[in-house]
Amino acid sequence: MIISLIAALAKNRVIGKNNDLPWRLPDDMKYFMETTKGHCVIMGRKNYDSLPHKFRPLANRTNIVVTRQQNFEAKGCIVVHSMEDALKAAQQHNEKEVFVMGGAEIYAQALKVANRLYLTEIDAEIDGDTFFPAVNYNDYKEISRIKHHADEKHRYAFDFVVYERK
């Protein structure tokens, strides 16, 4: 099973502020939805809590929520208590590629075993309080990059980049 991380991050590795995204990039949201559709997605409880109620669980995906809270319930989701259990749950669903979608603590745990990174690299330093873990890019090979310029719907330019572990 391929273990992939999918995230949008600013040049300073910011991925969030006040448990929300500090930008509005509709084409990135579309990219996320299309890339993860039909797959298992793994998220932390705080990330799950940040999803608007109308989008819980994320449609057309098997939602796996990792939490330390023993009695936590998330309707329509698989709730587990470790990254290891989340990956086992994805394997039990015969997943070929699982997507880890954050937040910061979950990314840090999964980065150690990640085969692939789907990163939306935003061409800006953005104020935030949540950061993507530092990546040793010497361990990865860039396999694709698609540029997206700033426009009337996108305040920042960004690139969709896929990295694969060497």
What is the structure's pLDDT at 59? 97
* Number of structural domains found in the chain: 1
1-15: per-residue pLDDT in tens?
A: 999 999 999 999 999
CATH number for the domain that contains residue 53: 3.40.430.10
From CA 166, how far away is CA 159, in angstroms rounded? 21
Quote the mean pLDDT of the chain. Answer: 97
From CA 66, how far away is CA 131, in angstroms rounded? 18
What is the structure's pLDDT at 116? 98
| Averaged pLDDT, 43-67 | 96
> Residue 3 in contact with residue 117, Cβ under 8 Å?
no
Q: Write the CA distances from 154 to 54, 67, 122, 123, 165, integer angstroms.
A: 24, 33, 11, 11, 30
105-155: per-residue pLDDT in tens?
A: 999 999 999 999 999 999 999 999 999 999 999 999 999 999 999 999 999
What is the structure's pLDDT at 75? 95
How would you classify the pairing of strands 116-122 and 2-10?
A: parallel
| Domain that residue 34 falls in | 2-165
In this prediction the pTM is 0.96
